[in-house]
Chains A and B, each alone.
Chain A
Amino acid sequence: MFENLPKYLAGARIGIKSDIAYRMDWVLFVAFQIVSPFVMIFVWNAIYAHTGVTTIGGFRLYELYAYFFVIGAAAGLSSLQLQGAMEAEIQSGSIAVSFTRPLGYVAQLVSGDLSGKLFAMAIVSVPILIIVTLVLGLHMSAALVLLFALELAIGYVIATLIGFIIGSLSVFFTDIGGFAAVVESVALLLGGAIVPFTMFPQLLVSIVSVLPFQFMFYVPAATFVGAISLSDAVGTFTVALVWILVLYVCAALLWNRARRSINAVGV
């Protein structure tokens, strides 16, 4: 594992360099993460003003402001992206090049994905979250920050497993843009990226709270703004671990089949 660390770091370096090769595009990508929460904030301002209530689904308005900024940061890590990279490689046949490197394919794929996301996290999301915390006067503690980081990591693992499963399907279906769009929409909605799911009807809440999508968005965001207690947050970990296990087994079985079916024929 650690003997390959320099290779992963070199891969991360060249991946990030490649990402930021077009500076204007990258700046706009960063700007998107700042602008997009404001869209949600305007919508919720209107809702709170119109209904005249002070809390909806346990959230006060300023907590929702913070909530959507954290969603933006979490989305930087937990949006489904791995399948796009796999689909592109499988469709174009350039997966053959990845196979010529003396590193496992999945390790190359995940390290490339993670390094780019961590880089963006470090230079965009972390400063945004610090500013949001200071401006809104949120209560932070070392325990809370640690828990938040752990939850982001769990969200990333789940998103990566889901992305990997969809990406593996590309071996059989070639174009999986449609699959990804469906799963992504469901994940955003049921994960609480559009509406905190505590605002859903009770039946839906009980369904969503046993699904994996909440860990990608809702759980870290709600923890950060203090909408769920530390002990409740820890309580969700059992569900998360079960899902990680299930998704991992599915991903491994599927990839084992997909790997044998890769033929890169004609490309």
Chain B
Amino acid sequence: MQIDIRVQQAAFDAVAMQQRLTARRRDIGALVSFTGLVRDINERPDVEALTLEHFPGMTEQALEAIARDAGARWPLTGVGVVHRVGRLPGDPIVLVMVTSAHRRAAFEACDFIMDRLKTRAPFWKKEHTASGDYWVSERQSDHDDAGRWERA
């Protein structure tokens, strides 16, 4: 399984990731991707920008471990994850792309990777709003979502 993990400040190009995951392969029947964008309303209205902090080294290892866990649960041919860090305006901040011979594995693995990423990968989000800056709190709903894969 091909794993392509990137943590970067720069904007990402989903087409470039698609090309990296599919180049010279004829065994891929499905590609599913998720892109996470910044909403203008989160815990408070008027989110103007956000700052993503990570733990260099540990974050990349954690993302790779999540990709490998997905590969152990579904027959995948590739997993690509790009997560942006630093101060970002309202752009896409995360991309998860999964390829497989069949669509069901790709859909489920993509969902699984996002749930794990939100609860296990060392990233911290600070929102800059019209009424001040604050660190985003963890959400029970994210843990509930991630918990679905433990019961399954």
Answer yes or no: are A and B bound together in one complex.
no
